[in-house]
Amino acid sequence: MSISEEQVKTALKSVKYPGFTRDIVSFGLVKSIQINNGEVKVQLALATNDPNVPAAIKNEAERALRGIEGMHSAKVLIDIHAPPGGAGAGMGTTRIPEVRHVIAVASGKGGVGKSTVAANLAVALDQTGARVGLCDCDIYGPSISLMFGTRERPMATEENKIVPIQQYGLRLMSMGFLLDDTSPAILRGPMVTRYTQQFLRQVEWGELDYLVLDLPPGTGDIQLTIVQTVALSGAIIVTTPQEVALIDARKAATMFDKVNVQVLGLVENMSYFVSPSDGKRYDIFGSGGGEREAKRLRVPLLGQIPIDIATREAGDRGIPIVGEDRQSPVTAEFKKIAENLRKALA
């Protein structure tokens, strides 16, 4: 009985990339398959600095291949490349044309203010004179359209490229521009992946110094699509000081580490609250959690953002606080984060 290439691919689909639920075939790691009288040789390509990853994949792949009926011998060869720049280029990723740095803003769980951080960081980077874009990659729960106060619909060029919305000097793209306020994004996984790729590849971003990606919380399909297709300059993890958020922040950091994306630093949001009546500070979610976690992950603590009524009100009005009040202490902290980020990338 002869062995088919489809049988080999089916067997390899049972091999997961370490730390992920996605298999090595869907990750695009299989480069060639050779079959000769029951002898199978598979060539894989990896971009990783972790020596444990290729060894684990090789062992699992050869074990899976030996389970094919009629198999006499199975050999898996792995071509290992160091990620370009030592970080961020992962498994078969490519750069977005004319975009110098792509920065992912992520969190392990929802409700930590990740979109607020992404929006204000983008505006703070713009105020340095840089050319900045912001892509809302949270397909199910887009919020950038609200936070930037526009419901404008994107147009398309003759080349079928999407023209991003321009607001406050930034180029923006979000599912919120395509849906009505009450319309949910009811999409299965493959469609979510398709929209994510379109936002990154089919948007006419033009020349940008920074493209900030506001990722959805967690480590699901959208995050995997991004890290396997786009060369990221690095990622920022947003958390609150409480332990329940820090646990999930570690998971997000581990995900980026698995795919060789450098974590540029941690941002502690909702760090504390200063009472407007007496100026007293209250550590509502605890204190020091972000600093301890940054040391544990061996990354910088880029900044600590307090709970601030004006920041929330500005976002609800459709203008990030960094753009509305340049003298705000919160604005000063976001400017510090932007400067720390620029130094890390330099």
The answer to whether the CB of 114 falls within 8 A of the CB of 107 is yes
Give the pLDDT confidence score for residue 85 in this predicted structure.
41
Q: What is the pLDDT of residues 262-317, one digit of tens each?
A: 899 999 999 999 888 888 999 988 888 889 999 988 899 999 999 999 999 998 99
Q: What is the pTM of this model?
A: 0.73
Give the pair of three-digit tokens for residue 122. Answer: 């983008």
CA–CA distance, 96 with 202 (Å, rounded to integer): 10
Beta bridge partners of 39: 36, 73
Contacts (Cβ under 8 Å, ≥6 apart) of 277: none
Q: What is the pLDDT of residues 219-237, one digit of tens each?
A: 667 777 787 778 899 999 9
Higher-confidence residue: 117 or 138? 117
Give the pair of three-digit tokens for residue 293. Answer: 């976690």
pLDDT of 4 over the 70 cut: yes
pLDDT of 2 over the 50 cut: yes
Q: At what angle do helices 52-66 and 5-12 cross, to 10 degrees?
A: 130
Counting beta carbons within 10 angstroms of the beta carbon of residue 80, is it exposed (0 to 12), middle (13 to 18) or buried (19 or more)?
Answer: middle
Q: What is the pLDDT of residues 123-148, one digit of tens each?
A: 999 999 999 999 998 877 788 888 99
- Mean pLDDT of all residues in the chain? 85
CA–CA distance, 333 with 186 (Å, rounded to integer): 37
Give the pLDDT confidence score for residue 86 in this predicted structure.
41
The answer to whether the CB of 262 falls within 8 A of the CB of 246 is no
Give the pLDDT confidence score for residue 93 in this predicted structure.
63
The answer to whether the CB of 226 falls within 8 A of the CB of 254 is no
pLDDT confidence bin for 28, thresholds 50/70/90? confident
Which helix (H) or strand (E) element contains residue 73?
Answer: strand 73-81
Sorted by where each starts, the structural domains of the chain and their CATH numbers stand as 5-82 (3.30.300.130), 99-345 (3.40.50.300)
Give the pLDDT confidence score for residue 88 in this predicted structure.
46
User: What percentage of the chain reaches a pLDDT higher than 90?
Assistant: 39
At residue 228, the 3 state secondary structure works out as helix
Sequence-ordered alpha helix ranges (H) in 129-242: 144-147, 189-201, 221-229
User: What percentage of the chain reaches a pLDDT higher than 70?
Assistant: 89
Residue of 129, 134, 125, 177 whose CA lies nearest to 322: 125
Q: What is the pLDDT of residues 189-210, one digit of tens each?
A: 567 777 777 888 888 999 999 9
Q: What is the pLDDT of residues 150-172, one digit of tens each?
A: 888 888 887 888 899 999 999 99
Beta bridge partners of 234: 103
